[in-house]
Amino acid sequence: MFDVELVGKIGSMALINKENNMLDYTLIARISRELKPGYVWVTSGAVETGRIDYVQRTGKELKGNPEDVKTDYAAQGQSILMSTYRQYVDPKYSIRQVLIEHQHFNDDSKREHLKEMLLRAKEQNAIPIINYNDAVSIEENRRLEIQSLKKDHKNVVECVDNDETASQIACLVKAKTLLILTSANGIYKDSQNPDTLIEEISGKDVNEVLENITLCENYCNGASRVGANGARAKLEYVKEAVKIGTTVIIANSKYKIKDILSGKAKCTKIGVR
């Protein structure tokens, strides 16, 4: 039924050691060592990694048009991010950087090409590592392209956030599990009260699960950084994966992947009972 065991995603803020203002190399090393063929990994962090690296080298932030600054940071951060994963992933496995944009999901031939490449990776002992291609994506052009697509298509993928990207990838490769790692343990009824963690969003069938996800969206406000869409958006994006039978888990990046998947770690698990 499922072609891929796991699609995982980690957010930018979960990758950053805030105290030292640098990549959390211990975290990336731990995650990387758990990656294996049959997993597809979606990673944020290129822009923030590039920003940190630039500031460390020059002692100042880039100035100018925010879109240009984002482009320049992303281009600088991508190589650092990928070399860090390569350093820690088991050397017997290949890793493959895949930079995607919304057009790869909204064009049938590009979508199929992407799917086949991701599915081949397992047989070739390789792990795809995916990120949105911020270095060449211009927001104004993206909006115009999306508007044009919506004139002719009912369902248009925008990829405004890597949570959406991860959910779309999970649908594309028919993933058994979609794991979204954040800096929180999951979805809370009250984000200020850790005792209100919602450990399960479920239902007797897909429609009931989708209804319960919508109810839980009412608890979600705010985001971890400027430009992020927060927990509400995560829940909205993962609905597409839930529709095809994928089990969704939203969990804290401080836990090992194997502990999350085995139920040993606190998290929010979403799916049909």
Domain encompassing residue 173: 4-272
Sheet hosting strand 200-203, strand order edge to edge = 94-100, 126-132, 39-43, 4-10, 175-182, 247-252, 267-272, 200-203
For 32, 87, 99, 132, 250, the CA distances from 94, given in Å and listed in that order, are 12, 11, 16, 20, 27
Question: Taking CA 6 as the corner, what is the angle to CA 133 and CA 215, rounded to the nearest 5 degrees?
Answer: 85
Identify the residue with better confidence: 105 or 244.
Answer: 244
Over the stretch 215-240, which tens digit does the pLDDT of each residue have? 999 998 755 433 445 799 999 999 99
Q: What is the CATH number of the domain that holds 143?
A: 3.40.1160.10
Tokens of 247: 């089990």
**Packing angle, helices 162-173 and 230-243, rounded to 10:** 10
pLDDT score of 124 more than 70:
yes
Give the number of domains in the chain. Answer: 1
Over the stretch 61-112, which tens digit does the pLDDT of each residue have? 999 999 899 999 999 999 999 999 999 999 999 999 999 987 888 888 999 9
pTM: 0.90
